[in-house]
Amino acid sequence: MNAVNELNAPARAVRAFADLHGRQPAGVWSAPGRVNLIGEHTDYNDGFVLPFALPHRTAVAAAARADGLLTLTTMGDDGNAQQADPVAVADLAPGSVTSWARYPAGVAWVLAQHGVTGGADLVIAGDVPAGAGLSSSHALDCATALALLGLAGREVGTGTAERMEIARWVQRVENEFVGVPTGLLDQTASLCCTEANVLFFDVRSGAQEQIPFKAAEQGLEVLVIDTRANHALGDSGYADRRRGCERAAELLGVPALRDIDLPGLAAALDKLPEELRPLVKHVVTENDRVLAAVELLHNDKLTELGALLVASHESMRDDYRISSPELDVAVDAALAAGAFGARMTGGGFGGSAIALVATADRPEIEHAVQAAFAEHSFTTPRLFTGIPSAGAHQDGLTTP
């Protein structure tokens, strides 16, 4: 690793900005990726989710421009800059920007509708693994939103209402500008998670609770397994699953599948065509699993989360049908080597899995997962410990 990449993401962004533009940025803002402990595909069904932010962050160093142009540069892992063509903020529209640049450009497009219309130079650096299902795109969106708001003199506080307004703006970026029908999980996690806690988020009501995650005190940790099987929601069946859920809710006469509880599940399934039943079964049981997980966390019974994680994965594999061979191998290998529980995390169709493991057993479990991937001739996975970390914020401008 070269000296530049040994810096954290904000410092890399600041250094790259100075190198590219010959001046210091006005500020640097960063936002984290996330792991969802449990509660998958429940957010767009008005349900419950339980994510935490990762230490991995995307940073945006920024300075205002007087000519109304938006310039976008991202720094690769090799330290090389990739620059998009400058675009006038006033000319932004869905479809006007392609590739990676459509995410920060989409943020500028949404914010312009809320009075933030000035141009800016943005330089991006980060270490959230792309394509890993750990919400790298939302980390970029959220960091960009804070940067552009900061340049406009609208610094973002820590209040839930203020941050949820930004989360809804970021959802519009993904839904309307990028064209991916995501819910509110990822951007809410990036903006609202706090260090050492998992976030219990009721999507319908907007209620949030920061629940201490005391894994280290109990000799446990969450092992993240990036399968390196590329996760791209825009090219997957994500939209089909969402449309199926919406159709099921319509047939059942409820606003969302959140309104079907576990005791009423069997009766609800009887009213649906066969192809929609597995989707509804997953959402209803997954919401119940989130509530059960919250109860276990409140009572410091972390090892008992394992059974919920396994049930969640089986539901996503068999009912929602969003797993992949790599995810299944990761989960099976981790469980066989002694993990308390394991599941895929994120939207599915590739990406990452998580395993709840004893810290003392982690080396053996990591080795078992790597060996299983080698046996199947899969790309070597990336493994690291997921530590609940802080949400999006402004960083200092200091560099070495």
What region does 213 belong to: left with phi over 0, alpha with psi -120 to 50, or beta?
beta
Residue 130 is classified by DSSP as T
Q: Which residue has the tokens 């998009």?
A: 84
Structure tokens at 341: 């529980």
Q: Is 383 helix (H, G, I), strand (E, B) or coil?
A: strand
How many whole angstroms separate alpha carbon 107 and alpha carbon 329?
37
CA distance linking residue 203 with residue 186, whole number of Å: 12
Give the containing element (helix H, strand E) for 150: helix 136-151
**Residue of 54, 1, 390 lying closest to 224 (CA atoms):** 54
Q: Which of 14, 2, 1 is nearest to 400 (CA)?
A: 14
Query: For residue 109, which amino acid is it?
Result: W
Structural domains of the chain ordered from first start:
4-209 (3.30.230.10), 213-386 (3.30.70.890)
Q: What is the DSSP letter of 302?
A: G
Residue in 141, 186, 226, 395 annotated catalytic = 186
- pLDDT per residue of the chain (400 residues) written in tens, 0 to 9: 344 457 899 999 999 999 999 999 999 999 999 999 999 999 999 999 999 999 999 999 999 999 999 999 999 888 899 999 999 999 999 999 989 999 999 999 999 999 999 999 999 999 999 889 999 999 999 999 999 999 999 989 999 999 999 999 999 999 999 998 999 999 999 999 999 999 999 999 999 999 999 999 999 999 999 999 876 554 568 889 999 999 999 999 999 999 999 999 999 999 999 999 999 999 999 999 999 999 999 999 999 999 999 999 999 999 999 999 999 999 999 999 999 999 999 989 899 999 999 999 999 999 999 999 999 999 999 999 999 999 999 998 865 4
Q: Which two tokens stand for residue 204?
A: 């319908």
Annotated catalytic residue 186? yes
